Structure 1
Amino acid sequence: MDGVGRACDTIAAMLRSVHDRAELAALLRKDTALHAYELGDLDDFFWPYTTWYRHGDALALIYHGQPVPTLLALGGRLGDLLTGLVPLLPRTFYAHLSPGAGVALAPAYTRSHDGGPHHKMALAGEPQGPAEGDPLGVADEPELTALYARAYPENWFDRRMLETGQYVGIRRAGRLVAVAGVHVWSPTYRVSAIGNVTTDPEHRGQGLAQRVTAALCHRLRETTDVITLNVKADNAAARAAYDRIGFTIVGDYEEATYVSAGTEGSRT
């Protein structure tokens, strides 16, 4: 066996699967704002769809709750973790990785369908600016689904998210025209991640997304200490709205799809 092979075997030997939520929470809380999504995934709501791996203090999560699995690996010292993980990864997966970390997956995987650079933002203090909106519930799902079809067809929405009670909407003339909700809401770990924010195309330019997001933040403050969100780095309008509410950038990451190049052994 050559030196490269021995090094890979050593890395793989140090990689281990983790099933202890307390152990995972302790590692993730070293940077709660950066890892709010992963902390939320420790809840019973998401836990059955997760697989976790550790190499030193570096963590990787594979989330299996969607047709295409998602790999999340954020923070520093990810190279050895991802190198050791290569033989265990699905043939195709979407990934949220710290900038540059994806190089550790080559040449076993090729990168495609690049989602581009993103920022992770966290609310600093109390939400600022005007707030408007009323809570939405399961009875509002048909109207909410219709709004997403018009305004945000590519969003990630699951009925279970609406069942948390952490969705807020604005109506005009009795019609739902703006909404802000959550991807993660965990009173257990005191973290939340805002998502599924959109405004009807006919009502844009009025600051409704900012108002409804601020209203949701006030609501989330009752049950969580850390409120976060993800935003594309080139979405200047959204970033400006979040800045006005009081969000600040706490980290960067990249989204992309990775496809097996056929250079490794079996994968699921």
Structure 2
Amino acid sequence: MAVRAEHDRAVLAGLLGRDPVLHAYQLGDLDDFFWPYTSWFRRGEQVALLYHGVDPPTLLAFAAPEQCAAMAVLLKELAPLLPARLYAHLSPGLSEVLGGSFRVESRGVHYRMALTDPDRLAAVAPAGVVLGAADLPLLGRLYAQAYPENWFDPRMLDTGQYVGVREGGELVAVAGVHVWSPVYRVAALGNVATHPRWRGRGLAAAVVAALCVRLRESVAQVALNVRADNVAAVRLYERVGFTRVADYAEYTLSAR
């Protein structure tokens, strides 16, 4: 048995769907919206994704603790096939496997959180309107002022899963998604931002709550990634019903 490319979405969905929260982003990337930008690799029951829709490409390799040894073997075999420069999201302990082929630079520990207590949403007054392509200039200005380091794919506005609050002709708060797939029943919250002048007024919680209520109409699992050291964001997500379900780390990889 050796690592091989996998092109069967049904097979991938079956393997990833055994833990839909841990693999929420990968399941979402099986959707037609993302599928053309993906390359999938499988060894036994372990699956890794190389997503080409960003520059540099991003490798996603997640495994439960008892499966990390098997995932490490997959990554060791996959390393010669990877691009010379890429980003990676890896479960704990997996970066060491790639150290022989790449210079590995940590970009921080992150939490995977999941909406496990949606009843808490009722305690937050939702706010915001659904955004569309016409709102892209306003959204770009908000991110430049409030979240310049974020990754945002303008195509995501086409999902209809971005909610924002407008004041004085400008967007002052927004919550959106990185993936959304009614087919695979998963969504990943992301691109949440509040204008610096409007922080401390509960707008982030309000737009996140509004979006989560909307997402639960079409998916079974709502997940997100957040930096472990972003204490304010972690507390916000806990307030609306998210809990920490797994840890992972992000890296930049450059071929030796």
TM-score (norm: length of structure 1): 0.90
Q: Does 1:226 align with 2:218?
A: no
Partner of 1:156, secondary structure, is coil
Q: Tell me the distance in 2 between the aligned counterparts of 1:103 and 1:169.
A: 41
Match of 1:166 among 161, 170, 189: 161
Give 2:108's aligned residue: 116
Other-structure match for 1:5: none
The residue identity in structure 2 corresponding to 1:177 is: V
**Hey, what does 1:6 align to over in structure 2?**
none
Match of 1:10 in 2: none
Q: What is the CA-CA distance between 1:53 and the residue it aligns to?
A: 0.7
In the aligned structure 2, how far is the partner of 1:44 from the partner of 1:17?
18
- Calculate the TM-score normalised by the size of structure 2: 0.94
1:130 positional shift: 2.3
Point out 4+ residue stretches in structure 1 off by more than 4 angstroms.
none
- Report % sequence identity: 57
Structure 1 counterpart of 2:56, one-letter code: V
TM superposition shift of 1:181: 0.5
Distance 1:88 1:205 in 2: 47
Match of 1:54 among 42, 49, 64: 42
Residue 140 of structure 2 is aligned to residue 145 of structure 1 = yes
How much does 1:108 deviate? Answer: 1.2
Specify the alignment match of 1:34 in structure 2.
Answer: 22
Opposite residue 188 of structure 2, the aligned amino acid is A
1:160-239 matches, cutoff 5 A: 160-239=155-234
Task: Give the unaligned 5+ runs of structure 2.
Answer: none
Aligned partner letter, 2:52: H
Shift of 1:173: 3.4
Aligned partner of residue 31 in structure 1, secondary structure? coil
Aligned-pair CA distance for 1:139: 1.1
What do you get for the CA RMSD once the two structures are aligned? 1.1
Q: Aligned partner of 2:179: which letter?
A: V
Matched, 1:74 2:67: no
- The runs of 5 or more residues in structure 1 that have no matched partner are 1-12, 262-268
